[in-house]
Amino acid sequence: MVDTLVFIVAAVVCLVGALGVVLARNPVHSALMLVMTLFGVAVQFVAQEAHFLAAVQVIVYAGAIVVLFLFVIMLLGVDRAQSLEMSFLPVQRWAALLFASGSLAVVVALILAVGEPVTGLEAMGGALGSTDDVRLLARSLFSDYVYAFELTSLLLVIAVIGAVVLVRKPRETDAVVAEDRGDA
Amino acid sequence: MEVTTGWYLVLGALLFVIGGTGLLIRRNPLVMLMCVELMLNGVNLSFVAFSRTLGDVGGQTVVFFVLVVAAAEVVVGLGLVVAILRRQPGTTADDLSALKG
Amino acid sequence: MVELVWLVPALPLIGFVLLLAVGNSLGEPRAGWLATTAAGASFVVTLVVFIGLLGRDSHSGERSYELVLFKWLPAGSLQVDAGFLVDPLSITMALFVTGVGALIHLYSIGYMHGDPKYSKFFLYLNLFLFSMLMLVFGNNLVVTFLGWEGVGACSYFLISFWHQRESAATAGKKAFVTNRVGDWGFMVATFAIWSALGTVTYTEIAQSPAMATATGTAISLLLFVAAAGKSAQLPLSVWLPDAMEGPTPVSAMVHAATMVTSGVYLLVRMNNVLTDDALLIIAVVGAATALFAALCAVAQHDIKKVLAYSTISQLGYMFLAIGSGAYVAAIFHVITHAFFKALLFLGSGSVIHGMGDEQDMRKMGALRLAMPITAATFIVGWLAIAGVPPFAGFWSKDEILLAAWEQHNIGPLLWGVGLVTALLTAYYMSRQVILVFFGKQRWDEEAHPHESSWTMTAPLCVLAGAAAVGGVINLPLVKDWLVLEHFLEPIFNHPHHFSSGTLTKIALAVISVAAGIVGIFFAVMAWLTKRIPNDRLEPEFLENAMYVDATYARVVEGIGTSGFQGTANVDERFVDGAVNGIGKLTLKIGQLIRPAQSGYIRNYAVGVAMGALVIIVLLTWGLLR
């Protein structure tokens, strides 16, 4: 019973947050709504005994990524509201509508057709085992996925270097930039 | 009423669809990036649910990698956004079509 | 110690890579010393490997060591390893390749002095040495082919090294294209061997049962085509004289001592697939080439052209030896020839260098006073090639003539051709020595001929020593003194033995020495003392190499040009039409679907979303049904 309650509350939080991200006019609000969703998802992780991932979700996503978003928003000062009007891509709205309704229809069809356990497997049945998930995850990461794991570290380094290069104030090309601004 | 795997999957699908729709209708590049995060979270949720159901920690491992890749993606994406917006403040995704065919 | 064999090609490769990276900044002369060090170290390692091989028992097959580096082409039943084979044959080749190579590297330091592409020259030399060692040490036909192509490419680079000169660029192209014909033979032979024997590894080929005669002959002839291309045998000999456009050290190393002998090496390596019919053809072609080139050499004025034709002629000797079944004699001559021909080429290079890039012998004369070391060493080389005992050339040439005599079909004829060639060789070499070093001075005082620096004369002296006493490795006087023959014995399934009696042997040797002396005597009469009028001794017919080149050119111009014209027409009408049509069609389609590339990222996102939706719907459909 508690499980159900937790699920419903967290799901509502998630969905409201997600809709908020999409519909809020102010990007700051969007970012805060994203935090809400992320917390909801973290709760769902906990409910499924993925404690480590829940922690990472909060620390990395809410703690780092969203903060990064907010920093950028503040840095650029784009906190003014933007309308949800389509600019000049008229297909866009209808396409989005089609995508949303189509996907929803598929989900609904699946639930109706398959009924309870969507996967056809016993729901919430097989536990991951007696050991806790952190130990399991660590063993998996440092044995089967060790190369992928090492590669992700490389990826992060590349991303950092890329970001530094991207946002570096251009020195030699200052004149060109100024010219471009004048044109715009 | 017992919570089953299906519920989590539906929630994940909804998050994914909302994120995807947002990506299609919003034109602020920052919000578009946030919508991508929503989609990734929907997928993550499904992965964890399956991991739980099948008793296989592989699903959680994938989620871990998705988190890392998402972090890298946001760093580079935001770097691009900053670089673009610094040149032309107030740019939206619809103002950029230099690669038009 | 044998296991160190991989170092032998690795060292020049390291030299090559280093020169590629920092060659230009090293500059002169350090780039040259680097390359020379690499080549010298390679020689030292070869010596170590050689000593290691000597330490093994010669009878139980232990003197054959294979080092497999990695599986190169593991494709079904075709298994090709990248590996080395160390056995008496390959180590013999490697010893003189690295030894002579190192000396020529040293020589080049002085010779290339002041050249704007100084470091690049040594880069090519090191790459050449590496390729040549791959060719020699490869444990199967494919690795050898790799080296084979490598030396071909290096030869091309080095011939057209001074490519600003159009003649050099053309000569490079000519060598490359002519070599292609031989490479074709090599490739087809490799394919045929694989399909006939199911292997391309030398040790396995050596142990395979005999093939059907027709197949064996076809493969032998294809291998001979390959060897004829690389070793400039008729009718593919035309490239070698032109190759003299390259710098003289290149002529000495690539086009006299090492690369051109790789054809001989290939045939000796594959000795147990060569059939009797093919051997006869090889012998005849070899003898014909020897005579043809010797005749051409008689009438040349360019100091290097004489040596070039002489090289072709001596290579003809080697093929004559192979055709007569005397593989050891062929390898013996390869070695002695490497010594004295490298010596002669380097000597001519020293002369050219000292004369300020003058190559015409008519403008030389009396140079022995100006460059005594060069003259003395050149004379040693001359005596060696002329077959004067006890110099190296005498022993190897004599053995070949003996083998030709014993050839069971047309032996005396082959021997006769060989003898005439020996006479001619003595004559034209004497003519060259007299024209260059003796007689009256025919150069202007401004030429200031001078002796070269020590880096150039030192290799000359070493090679002169080798050319003088190189014959000791295979003296026929006592059976135990046939060192080379006993050393090489394990690689032959059916070792060749001379059947003639001692008296015949001595008689043949006396006759060949007599022929050499007659040649020298005639040259002295004609060119030094001028007792014989010499104005008709250089017929134009021979100077132009019997118009073989011109005939090729005419054939290519006649049939070839019309053929090319027809092809060009077809190309213009149909091929170009089709290509342009496809291009235009693509352009039209592109115009049509161009708007799809709107540049708006969200449009693309819609595309992705719609595609995803379609896939999801299809999957769901399949799942629900």
C217: left (phi over 0), alpha (psi -120 to 50) or beta: alpha
Residue scoring higher pLDDT (C214 or B4): C214
Residue scoring higher pLDDT (A123 or C79): C79
How far from the centroid of its chain's Cα atoms is residue C276's Cα? Answer: 25
**At C620, which helix (H) or strand (E)?**
helix C601-624
How many angstroms separate the CA atoms of A112 and A36, rounded?
29
pLDDT tens, position by position, C209-238: 878 888 889 999 999 999 998 988 888 888
Residue scoring higher pLDDT (A176 or C560): C560
Q: What is the mean pLDDT of chain C?
A: 86
pLDDT tens, position by position, A65-88: 889 888 888 887 755 545 545 455
C600 touches chain B (CB under 8 A): yes
**Across the interface, do A99 and C602 touch by the CB < 8 Å criterion?**
no
**Across the interface, do B97 and C596 touch by the CB < 8 Å criterion?**
no
Query: Would residue B99 count as lying in a domain?
Result: no
pLDDT at A13 over 90: yes
Residue C520: CB atoms within 10 Å: 23
Sequence-distant (≥ 6) Cβ neighbours of residue C561 within 8 angstroms = none
Q: Which residues of C touch B32 (CB under 8 A)?
A: 602
Size of interface A-B (CB pairs under 8 A): 261
Tell me, what's the pLDDT at C11? 92
Q: Which residues of B touch C599 (CB under 8 A)?
A: 96-101
C213 touches chain A (CB under 8 A): no
Closest CA to C498 of C377, C568, C401, C600: C401
**Phi and psi of C385, rounded to 5°?**
-75, -30
Residues A4, A75, single domain; the answer is yes
A5 touches chain B (CB under 8 A): no
The tokens of A114 are what? 């398959």
Helices (H), C160-275: 166-197, 202-207, 213-230, 239-242, 248-252, 262-269
The tokens of B31 are what? 């919000």
SS (H, E, C) A134-152: HHHHHHHHHCCCHHHHHHH
Q: Domain span at residue A3?
A: 1-80
- Please compute, for residue A1, the number of CA atoms within 13 A of its CA located in the half-sphere on the CB side: 0
Q: Are C286 and C319 in contact (CB under 8 A)?
A: yes
**Across the interface, do A99 and B45 touch by the CB < 8 Å criterion?**
no
Closest approach of A22 to chain B, Cα-based (Å): 5
Closest CA to C319 of C243, C417, C177, C239: C417
- What percentage of chain C reaches a pLDDT higher than 70? 99
**At C66, which helix (H) or strand (E)?**
strand C65-75
C58-74 as b/e: b if 16+ CB within 10 A:
eeeeebbbbbeeeebee
Query: Would residue B56 count as lying in a domain?
Result: yes
Closest CA to C404 of C391, C384, C421, C388: C421
DSSP assignment of C456-499, as one string? HHHHHHHHHHHHHHGGGGG-SSSGGG-HHHHHHGGG-SS-----
How many angstroms separate the CA atoms of C200 and C202, rounded?
6
**Across the interface, do B17 and A152 touch by the CB < 8 Å criterion?**
no
Query: Would residue A25 count as lying in a domain?
Result: yes
- The mean-pLDDT minimum among B25-34, C246-255, C485-494 falls in C485-494
**At C290, which helix (H) or strand (E)?**
helix C276-298
Query: Would residue A88 count as lying in a domain?
Result: no
Instruction: Enter the pTM of the model.
Output: 0.66
Mutate which: A4, A14, A26, vs B, most B CBs within 10 A = A14
C619 touches chain B (CB under 8 A): no
- Which of A89, A123, A177 faces B53 most closely, judged by CB atoms? A123
pLDDT tens, position by position, A127-170: 455 567 788 888 888 888 899 999 999 999 999 998 888 877 76
Instruction: Decide: helix, strand or coil at residue B22.
Output: helix
Q: What is the C-alpha R_g of chain C?
A: 28
**Across the interface, do A184 and B88 touch by the CB < 8 Å criterion?**
yes
Domain ranges of chain C: 350-542, 549-624
How many angstroms separate the CA atoms of B19 and B34, rounded?
8
Tell me, what's the pLDDT at B23? 87
CATH code, domain with B10: 1.10.287.3510
Q: Domain span at residue B52?
A: 5-90
Q: Which residues of C touch A98 (CB under 8 A)?
A: 610, 613
Closest approach of B31 to chain C, Cα-based (Å): 13
How many structural domains does chain B have?
1
Across the range B89-96, mean pLDDT stands at 75
A75 touches chain B (CB under 8 A): yes
Tell me, what's the pLDDT at A122? 46
Question: Which chain C residue's Cα is nearest to B28?
Answer: C602
How many structural domains does chain A have?
2
Query: Would residue A104 count as lying in a domain?
Result: no
pLDDT tens, position by position, B50-72: 888 877 888 888 999 999 999 99
Q: Which residues of C touch A102 (CB under 8 A)?
A: 613, 616-617
pLDDT at B41 over 90: yes
- Please compute, for residue B60, the number of CA atoms within 13 A of its CA located in the half-sphere on the CB side: 30
Across the range A51-70, mean pLDDT stands at 89
Burial class (CB in 10 A: 0-12, 13-18, 19+), C533: exposed
Query: To which residue do tokens 């570290």 refer?
Result: A153
pLDDT tens, position by position, C338-355: 999 999 999 998 888 888
**Across the interface, do A99 and C616 touch by the CB < 8 Å criterion?**
no
Q: Are C154 and C124 in contact (CB under 8 A)?
A: yes
pLDDT at C557 over 80: no
For residue C403, what are the CA distances in angstroms to C232, C270, C364, C399, C506? 22, 19, 39, 6, 13
Query: Would residue A141 count as lying in a domain?
Result: yes
ipTM field: 0.90
CATH code, domain with A75: 1.20.120.1200
pLDDT tens, position by position, C379-400: 999 999 888 888 888 888 888 8
Handedness of CA C363, C368, C370, C375 (dihedral sign): positive
How many angstroms separate the CA atoms of C155 and C415, rounded?
33
